[in-house]
């Protein structure tokens, strides 16, 4: 199954089983769809608040036009960043590494590491930007021991079929912010409900 079939209606599903307190208001549990945002705006904050394990979580929708680029904000020395590329062809650069990524790819950037995203295609690049700070102290050494900041290209992910559909595993590892970080995409056969 192609990326486009899996992610065509990609949504961010955020379910918090305990109360989530925002910095200024309560962040409601729910499904936040890309289509709920105004795609003519280049950046939109979807949510911002505290969670059980995070002092702060911010999720943005960002859009880059062809040949446009964006650098990391300067004030995130204690935040880890996850980027999920939804549409278009992007080049991401950090720590003297650069890679062109297709839609469905991700990047995890550790605190104190600057990055740049550039649209290298002919259509808009659209992505989700997660910025988060753990309640536990940042452990940069743990993150470096696990391999440091990283990129996972959608085109390199292996689909592993099972009786309910299949899965593509992005990562299972420690980061600077978390002792254990796991991310995957599940494809379900028709009629099967998600967990």
pLDDT digits (tens, 9 = 90+) for 70-106: 988 655 778 999 999 999 999 999 888 889 999 999 9
pLDDT band of residue 11 (cuts 50, 70, 90) is very low
Give the C-alpha separation, 14 to 24, whole Å: 19
CATH code of domain 3-155: 2.60.120.10
pLDDT of residue 32: 67
Question: Which of 128, 138, 38, 18 has its CA nearest to residue 83?
Answer: 128
Cβ neighbourhood burial of 18 (10 Å; 0-12, 13-18, 19+): exposed
Segments making up each domain of the chain, as ranges = 3-155
pLDDT digits (tens, 9 = 90+) for 127-160: 999 999 999 999 999 999 999 999 999 999 999 9
- Of all residues in the chain, the percent with pLDDT exceeding 90 is 60
């Amino acid at each position: 199954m192609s990326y486009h079939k899996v992610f065509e209606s990609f949504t961010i599903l955020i379910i918090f089983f305990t109360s989530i307190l925002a910095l200024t208001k309560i962040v409601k549990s729910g499904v936040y769809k890309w289509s709920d945002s105004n795609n003519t705006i280049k950046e939109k904050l979807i949510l911002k608040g505290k969670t059980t394990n995070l002092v702060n979580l911010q999720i943005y929708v960002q859009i880059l036009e062809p040949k446009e680029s964006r650098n990391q904000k300067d004030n995130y020395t204690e935040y880890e960043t996850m980027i999920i590329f939804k549409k278009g062809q992007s080049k991401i650069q950090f720590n003297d590494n650069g890679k062109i990524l297709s839609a469905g790819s991700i990047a995890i950037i550790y605190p104190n590491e600057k990055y740049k995203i550039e649209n290298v295609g002919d259509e808009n690049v659209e992505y989700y930007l997660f910025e988060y700070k753990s309640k536990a102290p940042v452990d940069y050494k743990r993150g470096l021991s696990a391999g440091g900041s990283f990129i996972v290209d959608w085109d390199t992910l292996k689909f592993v079929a099972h009786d309910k559909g299949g899965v593509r595993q992005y990562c299972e590892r420690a980061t600077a912010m978390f002792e254990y970080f796991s991310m995957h995409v599940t494809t379900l056969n028709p009629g099967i409900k998600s967990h």
